[in-house]
């Protein structure tokens, strides 16, 4: 059917097909709509994302156990080291505390004079642990003397921080050798026999003394470890040079001067 308008005859308007292909005669590009007026989803459009499935795998206990074992071992080593260092007598204690913990040690708390002399002196302790002494020290670079040395020179070595190991003349040779192994070649150490000792072995540092019966006594090492260098009246003093002669009398002034000139030349 034709509709007459003032402009002339026109064709019928194109039909809009609901939910199907474009109506016959519709121009290309004409949109089709559903009854609700909504554009239908395009074929091949975005799909709903798929949630990934988690796979619950078992823990690998091997590395965990290994690291746990290593950690426990490290804690044990650190703990043992701390106990060994800070137990009574351990390296972490100050030297006076370590010395005081040694069973049987004697500590002279009265003032010991540090005066110098060329005369022979009498001492309250035997062997002496301090007091007035010779101007010349006994060389204490790990020297092992096979005969008695002058007390006055040995006391000067104690003033420098040396430990003086002494023994009775009747001490068996194997015992003497054990003592010598602790002394020989070690700076701030010297060793010599002493007559009339009341114990087979006696150790001296400035103001300290320990007497024992056997060279295997562990307290010998404790004494040396705590007091060597530490029990000094002249920090930084040397043990080189000095007197190396044996005998029971200290050097005279003339002898000391001659020794000094010899060592300087």
- On whether residue 36 sits in a domain, the answer given is no
* Sign of the alpha-carbon dihedral angle for 181, 185, 190, 196: positive
Same-domain pairing of 109 and 76 = no
Q: Look up residue 12 and give its DSSP letter.
A: P
Our count of domains for the chain comes to 2
Same-domain pairing of 178 and 251 = yes
- On whether residue 144 sits in a domain, the answer given is yes
Which parts of the chain register pLDDT below 50?
Answer: 1-8, 10, 15-18, 32-36, 83, 86-89
Same-domain pairing of 111 and 85 = no
Same-domain pairing of 211 and 260 = yes
Same-domain pairing of 86 and 176 = no
| pLDDT, averaged across the chain | 83
Alpha-carbon gap, residue 185 to 194, rounded angstroms: 21
Domain stops at, among 93, 128, 163: 93
Which pLDDT does position 68 carry in this prediction?
A: 74
Same-domain pairing of 131 and 164 = yes
Same-domain pairing of 168 and 85 = no
Span 34-71, pLDDT tens digits:
444 555 555 555 666 666 655 555 666 777 767 777 77
Rounded to two decimals, the pTM is: 0.67
Q: For residue 79, what are its two tokens?
A: 């703990």
- On whether residue 57 sits in a domain, the answer given is no
- On whether residue 8 sits in a domain, the answer given is no
- On whether residue 52 sits in a domain, the answer given is no
Same-domain pairing of 137 and 224 = yes
For residue 95, give the nearest of 215, 231, 242 by alpha carbon. 231
- On whether residue 31 sits in a domain, the answer given is no
Same-domain pairing of 73 and 166 = no
- On whether residue 38 sits in a domain, the answer given is no
- On whether residue 184 sits in a domain, the answer given is yes
Query: What residues make up the domain containing 73?
Result: 69-93
Same-domain pairing of 109 and 152 = yes
Name the E strands within the chain.
Answer: 3-5, 8-10, 106-107, 116-117, 133-134, 141-144, 163-167, 189-193, 201-205, 208-212
Same-domain pairing of 133 and 83 = no
Domain stops at, among 60, 93, 126: 93
Helix (H) or strand (E) holding 100: helix 95-100
Alpha-carbon gap, residue 199 to 166, rounded angstroms: 10
Same-domain pairing of 83 and 193 = no
Span 151-191, pLDDT tens digits:
999 999 999 999 999 999 999 999 999 999 999 999 999 99
């Amino acid at each position: 059917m034709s509709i007459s308008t003032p402009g002339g005859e026109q064709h019928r308007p194109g039909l809009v097909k609901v939910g199907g292909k474009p109506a016959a005669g519709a121009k290309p590009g004409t949109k089709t709509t559903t009854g609700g007026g909504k554009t239908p989803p395009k074929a091949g459009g975005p799909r709903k994302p798929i949630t990934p499935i988690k796979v619950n795998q078992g823990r690998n206990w091997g590395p965990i156990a290994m690291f746990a074992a290593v950690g426990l071992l490290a804690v044990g080593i650190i703990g043992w080291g701390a106990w060994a260092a800070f137990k009574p007598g351990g390296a972490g204690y100050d030297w006076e505390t370590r010395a005081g913990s040694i069973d049987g040690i004697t500590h002279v708390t009265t003032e010991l004079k540090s005066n110098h002399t060329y005369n022979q002196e009498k001492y309250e302790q035997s062997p002496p642990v301090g007091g007035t002494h010779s101007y010349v020290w006994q060389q204490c670079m790990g020297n092992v003397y096979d005969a008695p040395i002058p007390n006055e020179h040995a006391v000067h070595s104690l003033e420098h921080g040396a430990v003086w190991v002494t023994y009775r003349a009747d001490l068996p040779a194997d015992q003497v050798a054990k003592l010598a192994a602790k002394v020989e070649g070690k700076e701030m150490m010297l060793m010599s026999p002493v007559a009339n000792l009341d114990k087979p072995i006696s150790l001296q540092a400035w103001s300290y003394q320990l007497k024992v019966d056997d060279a295997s006594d562990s307290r010998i090492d404790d004494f040396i470890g705590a007091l060597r260098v530490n029990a000094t009246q002249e920090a930084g003093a040397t043990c080189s040079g000095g007197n190396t002669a044996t005998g029971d009398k200290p050097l005279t002034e003339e002898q000391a001067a001659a020794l000094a000139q010899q060592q300087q030349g």
